[in-house]
Structures are given as structure tokens and as C-alpha cells.
Amino acid sequence: MTDLAARTREILDALGVSLPLVEEVAQQPSRDQGTLVARTPIDGSELGRLSAHTLADLADLVGSAQRAFEEWRVVPAPVRGQLVRELGELLREHKELLGELVSIEAGKIRSEGLGEVQEMIDICEFAVGLSRQLHGLTIASERPGHRMMEQWHPLGVVGVISAFNFPVAVWSWNAALALVAGDAVVWKPSEKTLLTALACQALAAEAARRVGAPQGLTHVVLGEREIGEALVDDPRVSLVSATGSTRMGKQVAPRVAARLGRCLLELGGNNAAVVAPSADLDLAVRGIVFAAVGTAGQRCTSLRRVIVHESVHDELVSRLSKAYGTLSIGSPLERDTLVGPLIDDTAGQAFLAAIEQAQADGGRLVTGGTRADGVPGGQYVVPAIIDMPQQSDIVKAETFAPLLYVLKYRDLDEAIALHNDVAQGLSSAIFTLDVREAETFLSAAGSDCGIANVNIGTSGAEIGGAFGGEKETGGGRESGSDAWKAYMRRATNTVNYSAELPLAQGVEFG
Ligand code: UN1
């Protein structure tokens, strides 16, 4: 067992997860087919092996969630909030350990691993407050002696499909809201981040035990594609909330639509920042570097394109290139590392292939773009900047890696047109000190994304706002604002407290 595997075991033990030992699985060759291997991208080594769930297991888990939902939906919402409060407490208590596990399993640097757990704590706090604010409207009735109102009721079982890059926070955005909304949750995590999912499930089960919530309110289902498909197709799953690639979303959406289920999609981004002539370039450089290079460019909100005014182009590119030169690349567990590994070999190859294609399209490699030393066995790359003569197809594609394209513009209309001329619509930013430019970018004729920022980068959104985007990003909203409504069903009620029975629209009947 490597040191990382041993440390992982320690963390899992402390978080209350009993992991079937590698050796035990090896002694049961009949189960080999359904064995999932947990790895760390730090050096590509194995952390442990787990048995995948079968389709029959999935059916049972959804059944168990359905039964738990039937009990949970009649528990008053503020009492449901206590479960999420307890989960938040447990997360606070175990922040260091869970953050470290995120670093080991997803390759995030320490601070980002911890930041992800903080994001979970934040959404738990938000959801606890929300548990007393699941408000509906009172609506004026056109009929005398009548009153109209709407109520928000629990929806059912929520199926959560999540990606490797936010292996725990995305579940928590969904679970915290779903649980206060009165729903049960069945979670299929990425095959690349199984252990962090089991850790969250252990904490959620402990929180449920402490507050006496029904058993079976949260489940994790481990498996590959066919398990995900079965979850998506199960008519008992009222809402499928899926985070991942646009390709995945395009497979999920029609399947859920075929059974007229509900979908919440949070898919790819191709996020850009416009840098205007008046921009504070110090701020822009810092904002751009964090957004483009943070999490090794593996956030759905990562900055992939800079659209810079021709008058500041050379200066910005030279400052960015200088800043990129100072980045420390290596094990995410080392204190001074800023750029950890990519998740796997495929990601490393995609990074190199995109650079080759961009150069074939006339792009000039300004910096980076090669493999970095890092830790043997891991996929470490040097973040790249490529100056592009035009927005070619490769620029319009989302490459999940630290690869930043720079495009020039002359006037703001051109910048906005370039900005919006991609299929995705998640996050966006403008760096400017000109209020007209800033407001134009935020206006109906400006950025077409779900998130549009001024003088900060595209990534690192707070949980208080609704998170998600338009076009091929899928249209869903998670996390803050009124995103909770997606996890509930709305009932419109008309109450007649008169002794008459007037019909709406003045209709006479008999
Ligand atoms: C994602 O990459 O799937 O805004 C989510 C951010 C984070 C969430 C990213 N709060 O970058």
C-alpha cells in the first residue's frame, strides 16, 4: 500500500467509512467484474477497490429513498433544517480531513480542497435558513369570498450525478436544498471520486442518526455508465440533477424527457473575460490567473478565453506571461503548490492535443503548453496561454485544462459578439473602470451567460447566488437565490369561504 493509500484509509476511518479492503476483493475473483478502482491523480496510484452496485442494488436504493421520502415530506420544514444543520456541524468538525481527502482524490491544492468543504458548510447554513422560508404567494382571487395561494411541497427522490472536479460541493448544493425541501437523495458520484462520496454519505448518515431522521434519506450508488442510466430512467426519481460535460447532459436530458421527469443540468462552460482599455490591469492579471489556472483549469467556471482590447493586448499578455512563469506546479499536498495534476491521462492528452490544434489554426503559444515534472505517475502540465488570430473551433470547445486563449477586439460590440459566439453560457466577466461598459456587459444585450461579473474572474462563485448557465450549459440553477424551487412541487390552491359557487371568467352553468 502506498503512503497515500494508507493516509486515505486513516482519513476514511476517522470519517466513519469502512472501505472493503483491496485484499478482500482480490480474494473474491467472482466480484472482480464489478470492481471499481479508486485512484489518486497525484501519482496515478491505487487508493482502494470497491464493489460496484448492481442494477438490482440501485432499484433497492431508490425504493429505500422513496420510503424515506414518504416519512420525511410530512416532517415540518424547519425540523428538516435540523438535519442539514447537523450535517453542517459535522462538516465543520471534519473540514481538514475531508479537504485533504478531496486533495488526494481529485488533486486539488490544499486551500482549494478546504475551500470546497467550506462551500459545503456555507450551503448547509443557507439551507437551514431556507428551511423557514419556503414561501409561496397569496394571490388575489377574482371571485368574492375566495382566496388563492400557492404552496411548495416536497418533490420526491432526487437523483444527483456529479463530476470529479467538485466531488463534494456539488452534492452538497443539491443535497442540502433537497433535504430541507423534504426530498430524499440518491447520488451517483463520478467514477473518479468514489471515496469522497462515501465520506459525505457517512457524514450525512451520522447527521440523520443524530437528529432521528428516517433511514435511507441519502444514498450513494457506485457504478459506471449503466448505473447512471438506470438512475436517470427510474420513474421514481422525480428530479435528475446532473453536473458534467455537455455530452453527458445531451444523453441525460432526452432520457428524462422521455418519461416526462424533471432535469436540472449544469454542464460545460467556455468562460471568457473581456479586458477593456480602462481596466485595472493589476486586478485583471490576478483575476485571470486564478480563474484560468486555479484547480488546474478543471472548474466548469474556469476562464478559457480572454478578449482584450487591442490597445492593452501586448501589455496584458506580457504581464500574464510573467505571472505564469512564477506558478509552482507539483503535488497538491505541498504547501506552496498552485497547480496540481490533471485528473487522468485522457485529460493530459486533451490538453496537448488542443494546443497542437490551436497552433495549426494560427495560434501563437505565448507560454507553457508542455508536460511538467510534477510527481511521477501524475499528469502535470505547464499552464498555457495561446494568442489566437480568430475564434476557431478549438477555442469554441471546452478543454478541461489550464489552457487560455487570447483574442483581440476593437470595440465593445465586437467583444460582446465574440464573447457570446460559443455554444456554452456559464460564466463571464469584464474588467473595466468604465460604468457604461460594465453596465452594457451586464445588460440584456451583453453577456449571455448565467453568471456575469465585473472586475472579478469567472470562477469561485459564492453559494448565495443561483449557479448555472444558458445554452449548452443546460439552463439549470443550483445553490442559492430561489434555486430551491427546482427541488419542490408547487400547488396552487383556491379556497372558497363563501356560501356561493361563482365560476371563474364569469361562466354561467345551469
Ligand atoms: C464546477 O466547476 O462544477 O464557481 C462548480 C465556482 C465554484 C463551483 C464550480 N463555486 O468556481
Residues 393-420 have pLDDT tens digits of 999 999 999 999 999 999 999 999 999 9
Tell me, in angstroms, the distance from the centre of ligand 1 to residue 495's CA.
43
**pLDDT band with cut points at 50, 70 and 90 for residue 22:** very low
Residue 31 has pLDDT above 70, yes or no: no
Q: Output DSSP code: residue 402.
A: S
The C-alpha cell that represents 437 in the structure block: 461598459
The C-alpha cell that represents 190 in the structure block: 463520478
Q: What is the mean pLDDT of residues 130-151?
A: 98
List domains and CATH numbers for the chain: 54-267+474-490 (3.40.605.10), 271-464 (3.40.309.10)
Ligand 1 neighbour 461 (Cβ under 6 A): yes
Ligand 1 neighbour 165 (Cβ under 6 A): yes
Q: What is the pLDDT of residue 137?
A: 97
| 3-class DSSP string for 340-374 | CCECCHHHHHHHHHHHHHHHHCCCEEEECCCECCC
At 77-120, the pLDDT tens digits run: 999 999 999 999 999 999 999 999 999 999 999 999 999 999 99
Residue with cell 503512503: 3
Tell me, in angstroms, the distance from the centre of ligand 1 to residue 166's CA.
7
Residue 340 has pLDDT above 50, yes or no: yes
Residue with cell 450525478: 161
Beta bridge partners of 488: 154
Q: What is the mean pLDDT of residues 235-256?
A: 98
Q: What is the mean pLDDT of residues 438-445?
A: 98
Ligand 1 neighbour 391 (Cβ under 6 A): no
Q: Output DSSP code: residue 191.
A: T
Tell me, in angstroms, the distance from the centre of ligand 1 to residue 350's CA.
21
Q: Are 217 and 72 in contact (CB under 8 A)?
A: yes
Residue 155 has pLDDT above 90, yes or no: yes
Ligand 1 neighbour 459 (Cβ under 6 A): yes
Q: What is the pLDDT of residue 18?
A: 77
Residue 32 has pLDDT above 90, yes or no: no
Q: What is the mean pLDDT of residues 283-296?
A: 98
Which amino acid residue places its CA nearest to atom 6 of ligand 1? Answer: 460
Pocket test for ligand 1, best of 193, 300, 424, 426 (most atoms within 8 A of CB): 300
Residue 222 has pLDDT above 90, yes or no: yes
Looking at ligand 1, which atom is closest to the CA of residue 462?
Answer: 10
Ligand 1 neighbour 173 (Cβ under 6 A): no
| 3-class DSSP string for 254-307 | HHHHHCCCEEEEECCCCEEEEECCCCCHHHHHHHHHHHHHHHHHCCCCCEEEEE
* 211 phi and psi angles, rounded to 5 deg: -100, 0
Pocket test for ligand 1, best of 121, 241, 270, 459 (most atoms within 8 A of CB): 459
Looking at ligand 1, which atom is closest to the CA of residue 463?
Answer: 10
Looking at ligand 1, which atom is closest to the CA of residue 266?
Answer: 3
Residue 30 has pLDDT above 60, yes or no: no
Pocket test for ligand 1, best of 301, 302, 303, 453 (most atoms within 8 A of CB): 301
Q: What is the mean pLDDT of residues 439-454?
A: 98
Ligand 1 neighbour 166 (Cβ under 6 A): yes
3-state secondary structure of 293: helix
Q: What is the pLDDT of residue 34?
A: 85
At 312-335, the pLDDT tens digits run: 999 999 999 999 999 999 999 999
Tell me, in angstroms, the distance from the centre of ligand 1 to residue 282's CA.
24
Tell me, in angstroms, the distance from the centre of ligand 1 to residue 66's CA.
30
Looking at ligand 1, which atom is closest to the CA of residue 300?
Answer: 2
Within 13 A of 46's CA, how many CA atoms are on the CB side?
A: 10
Residue 285 has pLDDT above 90, yes or no: yes
Q: What is the pLDDT of residue 33?
A: 57
Q: What is the mean pLDDT of residues 184-193?
A: 98
Q: What is the pLDDT of residue 120?
A: 98
Percent of the chain with pLDDT over 70: 97
Residue 163 has pLDDT above 70, yes or no: yes
Residue 442 has pLDDT above 70, yes or no: yes
Residue 437 has pLDDT above 70, yes or no: yes
Ligand 1 neighbour 301 (Cβ under 6 A): yes
Predicted complex: ipTM over 0.90: yes
Which amino acid residue places its CA nearest to atom 3 of ligand 1? Answer: 300
Tell me, in angstroms, the distance from the centre of ligand 1 to residue 110's CA.
16
Which amino acid residue places its CA nearest to atom 7 of ligand 1? Answer: 460
Ligand 1 neighbour 295 (Cβ under 6 A): no
Strand segments, DSSP code E, in 410-469 are: 424-425, 427-431, 451-454, 466-467
Q: What is the pLDDT of residue 26?
A: 46
Is 24 assigned a catalytic role? no
Catalytic residue selected from 86, 266, 437, 472: 266
Tell me, in angstroms, the distance from the centre of ligand 1 to residue 301's CA.
6
* Mean pLDDT value across the chain: 96
Sign of the CA dihedral 385, 388, 394, 397?
Answer: positive
Amino acid at 226: E
Tell me, in angstroms, the distance from the centre of ligand 1 to residue 459's CA.
6
